[in-house]
Homo-oligomer: A and B are copies of this chain.
Amino acid sequence: MQNEKQRITVTIYSQQYTVVGQEPPAHVKKVAKVVDQKMKEIKKLNPYLDTTRLAVLTAVNVVDDYMKVLQELEELKQERRTTGDE
């Protein structure tokens, strides 16, 4: 049951998307909500963007955040290694 694929329908920027996967529905809905909110935030700052460019810039924004968190994580892991965890 754990590995069964589920179809979850979410609404992002007034469009419906069906996500197929093994993630819990609550997680998929949370992710969709973050994307929806980010698109609306970026639209407010750039009202003339069409939806494709808006979605691409949203992805750019999130990859930027992602790379920063990833770097912080790497630094923490590195620090943990050098302070001697083994």
Residues of chain A having any CB pair with chain B under 8 Å: 12-13, 15, 17, 19, 23, 27, 30-32, 34-35, 38-39, 51-53, 55-60, 62-67, 69-70, 72-73, 76-77, 80
Q: B63–A17 contact, CB under 8 A?
A: no
Starting from the known contacts A12-B56, A35-B59, A56-B58, 15 additional A-B residue pairs (CB-CB under 8 Å) come to: A15-B52, A17-B53, A17-B56, A23-B64, A31-B63, A35-B60, A38-B63, A51-B52, A52-B55, A55-B55, A55-B58, A55-B59, A59-B59, A72-B73, A80-B80
- Complex contacts, A35 vs chain B, CB 8 Å: 56, 59-60, 63
Give this chain's copy count. 2
